[in-house]
Structure 1
């Protein structure tokens, strides 16, 4: 799945804001200036600004412009991030060294995994563990499960996400260094095709203090729903 231009532009500004290159109170260039520099239309830039605002990174002041918020916090936005690799996602969050490791193997579906994927118990599935660290500090771990004939999620039409604070599995706790009894931010995902067949299931864990909030977005264009008017820039989470 290619990265939309507005996600790329938002990621570039998010990185500059979080690294201090654009300090709190800084004024961003106008929509027209950003559009000319990026080679896109002002409509695309407006989408990027909305995404930055939903992450609590910028605010719009009428007749004055777009400004970096006083205390930018990490807010995870989905499903835009599903269009990015973990390297890009975490790279946009800081200027620290991000390392991502992946291990893939074929396993036999347990009763739970078979029910998630709509398969028979004992059928072979693909299991991938993805671990991410930032300057050596573990920041994310995920387990993804797919039917063996599915190589990616390009055919996905729907993404379901469930967020909870919960006790991590043993392997997730070990990677994140979670003390016994402590909770993590856990996200359970299901990617479905147009016929709502499950293409992939994922369980992701983050340190509980990494994100101040989670924002979930969906594209209403596919449903023929008129989008709402210009949203106000949200207040900082936390």
Structure 2
């Protein structure tokens, strides 16, 4: 399926911002200029800039224009960003080759995971290790666990995330080449079904210097907000 024009244009600017080709404080051309350069309408450019805003890469100043933000953070838009593949997420952040490797196996659930997933101790679960690298440099590693027969995050209604700077596990430290005693940025995720049953848990680690901070923007269901 062809990539929407606004996504391609936003990705181009995102890569230039992430790599420093467009330094903090740089003013982007006007919507009309960008539209003319790319042969699209200004509506398409508005969607592209909205995507850059949601990722925390630019800011708008009334009657002045759009500027690259001073501090680049990882804006985690849930559930939208979490439904993207790592190839898509990291590809929008880099102009270099991004490689993603996955290894999947079945295993007996340790007691703590069995309890979290609502399974009997020792029940079979699927363990997926996902490793990502950028131009040969490791940038992310994750371990996800879910009951056998559950297909990723399909059917998930809620996402809970806990973010912290922590000492990595030995496998995460090894992949990220983390010096002994150094911390990494970690995200612990729980994907929940509509009945709040835990469908999958995932632990993600990034090099501590990759992002300045994690910023969250959640879309709330008005009915849930009123009755919750």
Quick check: 2:75–2:217 contact (8 Å CA) kept in 1? Answer: no
Matches within 5 A, 1:49-60: 49-52=52-55, 55=56, 57-60=57-60
Q: Quote the Cα distance in structure 2 between the aligned partners of 1:114 and 1:31.
A: 55
What is the number of equivalent residue pairs in this alignment? 220
Task: Report the equivalent of 2:144.
Answer: 144
Deviation readout 1:167-200 (Å, 9 max, x if unpaired): 1111111111112221111110000111111111
Q: Quote the Cα distance in structure 1 between the aligned partners of 2:181 and 2:22.
A: 39
Quick check: 1:58–1:68 contact (8 Å CA) kept in 2? Answer: yes
Quick check: 2:6–2:44 contact (8 Å CA) kept in 1? Answer: no
Do structure 1's residue 111 and structure 2's residue 119 form an aligned pair? no
TM-score by length of 1: 0.80
Query: How has the CA–CA distance of structure 1 residues 92 and 152 changed in structure 2, closer, same or farther, with 3 Å as cutoff?
Result: same
> Residue 20 of structure 1: CA displacement?
4.8
Q: Quote the Cα distance in structure 2 between the aligned partners of 1:183 and 1:67.
A: 32
Q: Quote the Cα distance in structure 2 between the aligned partners of 1:145 and 1:205.
A: 15
Q: Quote the Cα distance in structure 2 between the aligned partners of 1:97 and 1:181.
A: 30
TM-score by length of 2: 0.83
Secondary structure at the residue paired with 2:82? Answer: helix
Q: Quote the Cα distance in structure 2 between the aligned partners of 1:182 and 1:218.
A: 31
Quick check: 2:14–2:52 contact (8 Å CA) kept in 1? Answer: no
Deviation readout 1:126-185 (Å, 9 max, x if unpaired): 000000111111111000001101012120110000011111111111111112221111
Matches within 5 A, 1:14-33: 14-20=14-20, 22-24=22-24, 25-30=26-31
Matches within 5 A, 1:64-83: 64-69=64-69, 71=70, 73-79=72-78, 80-83=80-83
Matches within 5 A, 1:1-238: 10-20=10-20, 22-24=22-24, 25-30=26-31, 37=40, 44=47, 47-52=50-55, 55=56, 57-69=57-69, 71=70, 73-79=72-78, 80-221=80-221, 223=223
> Residue 73 of structure 1: CA displacement?
2.4
- What are structure 2's unaligned runs of at least 5 residues? none
Quick check: 1:141–1:205 contact (8 Å CA) kept in 2? Answer: yes
Q: Quote the Cα distance in structure 2 between the aligned partners of 1:7 and 1:215.
A: 21
Quick check: 2:156–2:194 contact (8 Å CA) kept in 1? Answer: yes
Task: Report the equivalent of 1:231.
Answer: none
